[in-house]
A and B are shown apart, each in its own frame.
Chain A
């Protein structure tokens, strides 16, 4: 006796959150059944393995049918085939677009292309996330990217509107889209200590301050592309390290204020010029796409690592960066105060976030 056909259709579509998770995690039906058995559900409910198998199949089939709609969440809201209460719809969408930290770290900043998709095998092996789940997450990234890439208006709002995600998740996707578009390098070994959250934080600051949208809210790609003009202008900051007097003056202003306030004052004093050169050179290099991609590598190399090797406490870093950016206002010979603030304001936030072990 074999079961040819076995279905259950409710007027209200039944959604089992646990099975949904297993499905999203890319488990096959048999693996999912095995995992459910292990969870002790049979003992709790007195069901048999056959019942569990049939139930799991059924849910998988439902999810499979829902998947098409989940690709365009507003469709899920308006479709008539599955009657699903709004709270459940939200849950389906949110979970479908959720992603694994391990996975996103692998893909963040990479071009969301076929080439990358081919690497998913390796990512799957490396992260232990099933290939199926990797694919879903990758496709989600790509889909969101495609939809919002050339849209005007706020990136987060656009994502929220077209994918009906929560605020938190929309922000994450904004970061993913932003990183993918600007192809920031995040995979280097020395960046491994950084979490997706760190990058997302930086992305948000950069979107707010460094993109076209920061100055003009009516342009296409406003939140996705960096403000080219701004990047060009950053070359002007070079004077801060190129002009010896200016550099000395800057250093003395910082040191005077911070004397006695830093536990690592002497180290700071000794390293000031290196650090300042590092930070200003990063700015100056941002005219080249290639160097934009290496932004995070450079920041870590030029600032985070030197400080870390001298064991600066985070608070000292904060005091230093505050003073370092503020002091520039007292440099009479320096004319690019606004530019400096736009640059340093964001960079300071990023560096503080990036500065940890």
Chain B
């Protein structure tokens, strides 16, 4: 569908001097879109030209609108020779293509040159007139909204979460060997920037089409990455979660600043007036072979299905049909039982989300990950990127089977990454196996969890911990106990996940960042030999990373990891592994045992002494950590402890018959779960090193906390000061006689020192928490290790830091239920009995329909890991946990809400609504944060995705302050360009900001360096919560701080 793109060039400022004679510049501007170019007049002799051009109009179709960036080039007019380029601005006009986002792009953009960096600014106005009405337009891929945020965006509610979308496009890299082409660097850099911009536009459009096919209208958790494969080409790939989102009509949902997005979830409208934007308006399934049957006899009501319906274990597909739903009443849409659930039929039941609406996540099984080593080959036909597709499909298949082995039908917190060195590429994928509540999934019948009895409502905050797998067929040995919270269901002793801590999880004390770091030397080799060597090393690395994580977790006295991200990086002569996660003490899980050291030679007296000394140190550290992180789980009464945990043996005998056939699972046992106290055997120097390195991790200085999740478990009283930062370090190893130990130590020191520096730099913000700490390791050259960290420091109010999460959760639940009762999209409870009279909305049909039995076909369970199967292939470990159906019943929550409590809240909302937005927007302060929220503020509008790719190159490295000066300036420029684009869209913040790539190459001998940076995020408008009714009742500091001071950071 065609549209008219209109561009006006207003003025420039701070232009560089292009004519040495006059110290001035004769600047003009070229505006290019697709193949059409317009020019402004030359504005003679000024560094601050006022072009004030006419409106340049481009008539284009929507495919171009989506793919092409608007290119603005500023040039210096030269009568006698060629005009000199000053620099360029690329503007992604995508945000103008959806109705709710920005309507105009207008502002000062930095003029960027890949050689000189930012050279002045240009003021541009861009508008798009769409010829057809917006509704029709939305049928095309243009209308699909994209969000980087890995949760349901704040001012939306999820009507349906459809599931995984992925796409990749490949092309030749215009500059596959940058150093070779150094002579025309500007041209090749620009060609590359333009190409990548085009490719990401195309990718986004293609993903959009898939979303529309699924009848969604948005992609959440959109993650787009570039693989610079060198000579074999350039791959741009993206994954995301397709959703149908509904914009909340008014800012009624007035929420605490730092809560999880989940609280914004609303109930599905239960009555007859259908929400036109929900899926209910049409058959809502991607499955082509769908059939519907309407049979009153088969209609289940919530009442009838009582306790066991919701989380039915049956491999059945419930498909809702809108028409049936709307007709309501007696005609319940009922679905054919199918042998496989819809989720199952979905190619990949993956979700890139890390935080969920309440009730969505039923059980968590554990981390699933898969890696594969591939040899890169030139991509012969860019239009048919089958090889790359096949590679990823293979990995995803494996992830899926891992999840199944854990008794889970879905994978959440899913992400993919690559590491490339020369022609070897490691593809990695990881996620958290989970059982989801199908009600959100449109077509989802749940399959997979066997125990469904929900005798009574369980306390909130532990359900997700309950094991989803059959304890008799545990895919790995684990030590199960009854949940310490509800005493009803089994839980594992530790829980590893890639998602954020659920908002309602009951946590003791605070969390902390836990990292495992590991290096392994590897012989230099070529091609297949190299790939084989890497494949052989990977399992050992995975194992060690896991062991380190486990040790460190125990050392902290904690029992669960969230946000786990393991990165394996391949270099010429080494492999690096870096795992980051946030450790917490989950109240539902058992207290972790200590760590015991055992020597191999118990007779040696002095050795014994050494061991016991070390043991003491470890015990002291654990005690200290418990104090530091305020971990003091409530004492468990005798009676409870004594609660009968059936003898495993007995149980298995008892139930063996039920588990019909369980293939042997060839899992690598990583769980270490069997012992109460964890035993470390010190049998060689290696192990000794390990123990030492355990103890060398220094806790953050007082007043500092750190985590790599969105929010810090145990802290919920954020104040409004935030400081996002990126820090990069590169160290050069002296190549002589490097051993694994020495390498480990260097790497460990590098990371530790980096953290220490961060704490020091941000000391003026104390008390504060580093959130979303994201480490990236790369090995740019033989002896270089590069670590890049992006995080945000958020201040909090120490005086209220003691508030427990529990009350936080309670209050927020109350809030959710009181504030939004009529808006609630989803009932807070999973049980069905309390909803007697509503006609069933189609989205839920499937739920009720699937009440029967039959677990996972046993054969599917055994398909986990097989290390030895492929030379180029390395499957990884599966970490596990368990679960049990947990529910919050609506009734129970309602009763906690009193009218008195509800009314002030309502008033607060009203005030907030009527209050004009803070007149903050002075001179365009733009906040940036990797989080999905801004403390003390409310996001009112999403303006579109920011996805930018920059190349910077220099041939005068020394003059620019060496590598540090060069990169420092470049990153500052990237921030500036992101902020400028957000400001031009009318926004004042970027949330879910991520620096996906920072590829740095240097050649000091030639005085050259080059860097590529790819960043993305969501441009938003936020307003301060001037009088906010936060969870914590008195939080004056957060409220009264004027907006403009919030970002002020001093040291």
Residues of chain A touching chain B, judged by Cβ–Cβ distance below 8 Å, are 1-17, 45-48, 50-52, 54-55, 57-58, 61-62, 64-65, 75, 77-83, 85-88
Would B1047 and A12 count as touching, CB distance under 8 A? yes
Would B976 and A8 count as touching, CB distance under 8 A? no
Among the listed A1, A9, A52, A61, which residue makes an inter-chain contact with B734, where contact means beta carbons less than 8 Å apart? Answer: A1
Chain B positions 943-968 with a Cβ under 8 Å from a chain A Cβ: 961, 963-965, 967-968
**CA A75 to CA B121, docked complex, whole Å:** 11
Q: Give the most central of A1, A4, A17, A61: most B CB within 10 Å.
A: A4
Would B110 and A14 count as touching, CB distance under 8 A? no
Would A5 and B728 count as touching, CB distance under 8 A? yes
Q: Give the most central of B701, B729, B761, B1048: most A CB within 10 Å.
A: B761
Among the listed B14, B749, B784, B979, which residue makes an inter-chain contact with A4, where contact means beta carbons less than 8 Å apart? Answer: B784
Would B961 and A9 count as touching, CB distance under 8 A? no
Would A11 and B927 count as touching, CB distance under 8 A? yes
Would A47 and B975 count as touching, CB distance under 8 A? no
Among the listed B732, B961, B1047, which residue makes an inter-chain contact with A11, where contact means beta carbons less than 8 Å apart? Answer: B1047
Q: Is B928 an interface residue (CB 8 A)?
A: yes
Across the interface, name the chain B residue whose C-beta is closest to A52: B760
Would B760 and A7 count as touching, CB distance under 8 A? no
Q: Inside 8 A of A5's CB, which chain B residues have their CB?
A: 728-730, 786, 963-964, 967, 1000
Would A9 and B756 count as touching, CB distance under 8 A? no
**CA A160 to CA B1049, docked complex, whole Å:** 26
**CA A347 to CA B608, docked complex, whole Å:** 92
Q: A9-B971, A85-B1047, A85-B1048 are in contact. Are A80 and B760 (CB under 8 A)?
A: no
Stretch from B719-727, B862-870, B1030-1038 that touches the partner: B719-727
Q: Is B13 an interface residue (CB 8 A)?
A: yes
Q: Inside 8 A of B969's CB, which chain A residues have their CB?
A: 65
25 inter-chain pairs at a CB distance below 8 angstroms, sorted by A residue, are A4-B730, A4-B731, A4-B732, A4-B963, A6-B730, A7-B967, A8-B757, A9-B726, A9-B727, A10-B723, A10-B724, A11-B724, A11-B926, A11-B975, A12-B1049, A14-B761, A46-B701, A55-B757, A58-B968, A75-B14, A78-B14, A78-B121, A80-B976, A81-B118, A86-B922
Residues of chain B touching chain A, judged by Cβ–Cβ distance below 8 Å, are 13-14, 108, 110, 118, 121, 701, 723-734, 746, 749-750, 753, 756-761, 763, 784, 786, 922-923, 925-928, 961, 963-965, 967-969, 971-973, 975-976, 979-980, 1000, 1044-1045, 1047-1051
Q: Inside 8 A of B1051's CB, which chain A residues have their CB?
A: 14-17
Would A82 and B729 count as touching, CB distance under 8 A? no
Among the listed A6, A51, A54, A83, which residue makes an inter-chain contact with B926, where contact means beta carbons less than 8 Å apart? Answer: A83
**CA A46 to CA B701, docked complex, whole Å:** 7
Among the listed A8, A12, A87, which residue makes an inter-chain contact with B761, where contact means beta carbons less than 8 Å apart? Answer: A8
**CA A7 to CA B728, docked complex, whole Å:** 5
**CA A54 to CA B757, docked complex, whole Å:** 8
Would B972 and A15 count as touching, CB distance under 8 A? no
Would B972 and A1 count as touching, CB distance under 8 A? no
Chain A: interface secondary structure?
Answer: mixed
**CA A88 to CA B13, docked complex, whole Å:** 23
Would B1048 and A12 count as touching, CB distance under 8 A? yes
Would A51 and B1050 count as touching, CB distance under 8 A? no
**CA A16 to CA B725, docked complex, whole Å:** 16
Would A6 and B964 count as touching, CB distance under 8 A? yes
Would B972 and A82 count as touching, CB distance under 8 A? yes
Would A80 and B118 count as touching, CB distance under 8 A? yes
Would B728 and A61 count as touching, CB distance under 8 A? no
Q: A3-B730, A45-B701, A51-B753 are in contact. Are A83 and B971 (CB under 8 A)?
A: no
Would A50 and B975 count as touching, CB distance under 8 A? no
**CA A150 to CA B602, docked complex, whole Å:** 90
Q: Inside 8 A of A10's CB, which chain B residues have their CB?
A: 723-725, 1049
Across the interface, name the chain B residue whose C-beta is closest to A18: B1051
Would A1 and B14 count as touching, CB distance under 8 A? no
Would B13 and A3 count as touching, CB distance under 8 A? no
Q: A4-B730, A78-B13 are in contact. Are A9 and B976 (CB under 8 A)?
A: no
Across the interface, name the chain A residue whose C-beta is closest to B961: A61
Would A15 and B968 count as touching, CB distance under 8 A? no
Would A87 and B723 count as touching, CB distance under 8 A? no
**CA A4 to CA B750, docked complex, whole Å:** 12
Among the listed A8, A61, A75, A81, which residue makes an inter-chain contact with B973, where contact means beta carbons less than 8 Å apart? Answer: A81
What 3 pairs between A and B have smallest CB-CB spacing? A5-B730, A16-B1051, A85-B1048
Q: Inside 8 A of A9's CB, which chain B residues have their CB?
A: 725-727, 968, 971-972, 975
**CA A49 to CA B441, docked complex, whole Å:** 55
Would B725 and A8 count as touching, CB distance under 8 A? yes
Q: Inside 8 A of A46's CB, which chain B residues have their CB?
A: 701
Would A65 and B972 count as touching, CB distance under 8 A? yes
Q: A7-B728, A45-B701, A54-B757 are in contact. Are A81 and B972 (CB under 8 A)?
A: yes
Would A11 and B731 count as touching, CB distance under 8 A? no
Q: Inside 8 A of B976's CB, which chain A residues have their CB?
A: 80-83
Would A83 and B968 count as touching, CB distance under 8 A? no
**CA A4 to CA B1002, docked complex, whole Å:** 11
Would A80 and B121 count as touching, CB distance under 8 A? yes
Q: Inside 8 A of B734's CB, which chain A residues have their CB?
A: 1-2
Among the listed B14, B723, B1044, B1050, which residue makes an inter-chain contact with A79, where contact means beta carbons less than 8 Å apart? Answer: B14
Q: Give the most central of A1, A3, A11, A16: most B CB within 10 Å.
A: A11
**CA A62 to CA B784, docked complex, whole Å:** 25
Q: Inside 8 A of A88's CB, which chain B residues have their CB?
A: 1048, 1050
Would B725 and A2 count as touching, CB distance under 8 A? no
Among the listed A61, A77, A78, which residue makes an inter-chain contact with B965, where contact means beta carbons less than 8 Å apart? Answer: A61
New A-B contacts (5) at CB < 8 Å, excluding given A12-B1048, A14-B723: A1-B732, A9-B725, A9-B975, A10-B725, A47-B759
Q: A65-B969, A81-B110, A83-B975 are in contact. Are A14 and B1049 (CB under 8 A)?
A: yes
**CA A274 to CA B1044, docked complex, whole Å:** 64
Would B971 and A3 count as touching, CB distance under 8 A? no
Q: Inside 8 A of B757's CB, which chain A residues have their CB?
A: 8, 51, 54-55
Q: Inside 8 A of B975's CB, which chain A residues have their CB?
A: 9, 11, 81, 83
Would B727 and A7 count as touching, CB distance under 8 A? yes
B479 CB to closest chain A CB, in angstroms?
38
Q: Inside 8 A of A61's CB, which chain B residues have their CB?
A: 961, 964-965, 968
B969 CB to closest chain A CB, in angstroms?
6
Q: Inside 8 A of B973's CB, which chain A residues have their CB?
A: 81
Q: Inside 8 A of A78's CB, which chain B residues have their CB?
A: 13-14, 121
Among the listed B731, B963, B965, which residue makes an inter-chain contact with A2, where contact means beta carbons less than 8 Å apart? Answer: B731
A23 CB to closest chain B CB, in angstroms?
13
Would B967 and A85 count as touching, CB distance under 8 A? no
Would A50 and B753 count as touching, CB distance under 8 A? yes
**CA A11 to CA B760, docked complex, whole Å:** 17
Would A51 and B760 count as touching, CB distance under 8 A? yes
Q: Inside 8 A of B928's CB, which chain A residues have their CB?
A: 11
**CA A221 to CA B1051, docked complex, whole Å:** 43
Q: Inside 8 A of B13's CB, which chain A residues have their CB?
A: 78
**CA A55 to CA B971, docked complex, whole Å:** 17
Q: A46-B701, A80-B980 are in contact. Are A11 and B14 (CB under 8 A)?
A: no
Q: Inside 8 A of A80's CB, which chain B residues have their CB?
A: 108, 110, 118, 121, 976, 979-980
Would A87 and B1048 count as touching, CB distance under 8 A? yes
Among the listed A6, A7, A48, which residue makes an inter-chain contact with B756, where contact means beta carbons less than 8 Å apart? Answer: A48
**CA A268 to CA B130, docked complex, whole Å:** 93
Q: A8-B725, A80-B110, A81-B976 are in contact. Are A57 and B118 (CB under 8 A)?
A: no
Would A1 and B733 count as touching, CB distance under 8 A? yes
Q: A61-B961, A80-B118 are in contact. Are A3 and B1045 (CB under 8 A)?
A: no
**CA A51 to CA B753, docked complex, whole Å:** 7
A51 CB to closest chain B CB, in angstroms?
5
Would A47 and B760 count as touching, CB distance under 8 A? yes
Across the interface, name the chain B residue whose C-beta is closest to A64: B961
Across the interface, name the chain A residue whose C-beta is closest to B965: A61
Would B1048 and A11 count as touching, CB distance under 8 A? no
Q: Inside 8 A of A8's CB, which chain B residues have their CB?
A: 725-727, 757-758, 761
Q: Give the most central of A5, A14, A86: most B CB within 10 Å.
A: A5
A192 CB to closest chain B CB, in angstroms?
40
Q: Inside 8 A of A64's CB, which chain B residues have their CB?
A: 961, 965
Across the interface, name the chain B residue whose C-beta is closest to A87: B1048
